[in-house]
């Protein structure tokens, strides 16, 4: 089994798997379910880092995957909230613009 497959990275992958369910719950107007799923995703975010540090399971794949999955979750939530009319589109564009600006700064 590859070294990158460990408990910490599996928690990160679980968070990625939760993204479409959170987005779907928001779009369907099931706000309590969306909140519960988002809270579950947040717990996996806390746990993956704690597990990686405690059991020395940090890997380059995990270091790359964790922030990418975080961006997928938050981007999906903001897009779904905008589609549902809960937040204005200008806020979504502002958040995405900020992220793109940060990403562009990394390339310099």
What share of the chain has pLDDT > 70, as a percent?
98
- The residue among 33, 63, 68 whose CA lies nearest residue 48 is 63
Fold of domain 7-106:
1.20.120
The answer to whether residue 107 scores a pLDDT higher than 80 is no
Domain ranges of the chain: 7-106
Taking the C-alpha atoms of residue 84 and residue 78, their distance in angstroms, rounded to an integer, is 10
Residues 34-79 have pLDDT tens digits of 999 999 999 999 999 999 999 999 999 999 999 999 999 999 999 9
pTM of the shown model: 0.91
Sequential DSSP letters for 67-105: HHHHHHHHHHHHHHHHHTTSS-HHHHHHHHHHHHHHHHH
């Amino acid at each position: 089994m590859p070294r990158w497959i460990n408990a910490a990275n599996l928690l990160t992958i679980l968070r990625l798997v939760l993204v479409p369910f959170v987005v779907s719950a928001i779009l369907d107007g099931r706000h309590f379910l969306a909140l519960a799923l988002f809270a579950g995703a947040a717990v996996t975010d806390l746990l993956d880092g704690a597990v990686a540090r405690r059991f020395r399971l940090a890997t380059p794949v995990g270091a790359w995957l964790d922030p990418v999955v975080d961006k997928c979750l938050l981007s999906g939530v903001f897009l779904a909230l905008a589609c549902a009319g809960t937040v204005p589109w200008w806020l979504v564009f502002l958040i995405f613009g900020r992220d793109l600006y940060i990403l562009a700064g990394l390339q310099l």
